[in-house]
Structure 1
């Protein structure tokens, strides 16, 4: 399933909530490396939960966070125009409200 992306490409929308998109300025090789790291870390989270190992779970979650920061999905924003970050905001409560509402209008 493809999620709608804001016109500026900064976010995609899932269940009305904005999620920061991956930095489009990353090279394909960089992006692939960071995605691989993210998937490895997510598997480590799953294994740590299965093993009920809190120390490994904490370490694995830190690795997930590092990968998400490297991808630009968390941490400092990847754009340079000093615009506020609306990651995890409801689209209807942001400057993207009109755009988001138009998506629903086009579905009718």
Structure 2
């Protein structure tokens, strides 16, 4: 396998978004060609322009490559740690008692 290509385990280990050069490697593209395609609106998956740079969501990259994201913590809950609508929390202890609110 050439240096321009990535293996499935490398792809699944990518962060939530990657730079354009990294995404290009997944498709076997070099940095220059990746930027040419992105500027022309022809990159093989969704690209998000951020100022003069580009970011590529891991989900769009994996989808374009036909790879199912099976990594743990890949859903929306992984992006927003803490309680979610289906979860509840209970606040207890002296800091949360009614009497401490009056002090």
What is the TM-score of this pair, normalised by structure 1? 0.27
Relative contact order higher in (CA < 8 Å, ≥ 6 apart) = 1
What is the TM-score of this pair, normalised by structure 2? 0.28
Bigger Cα Rg: 2
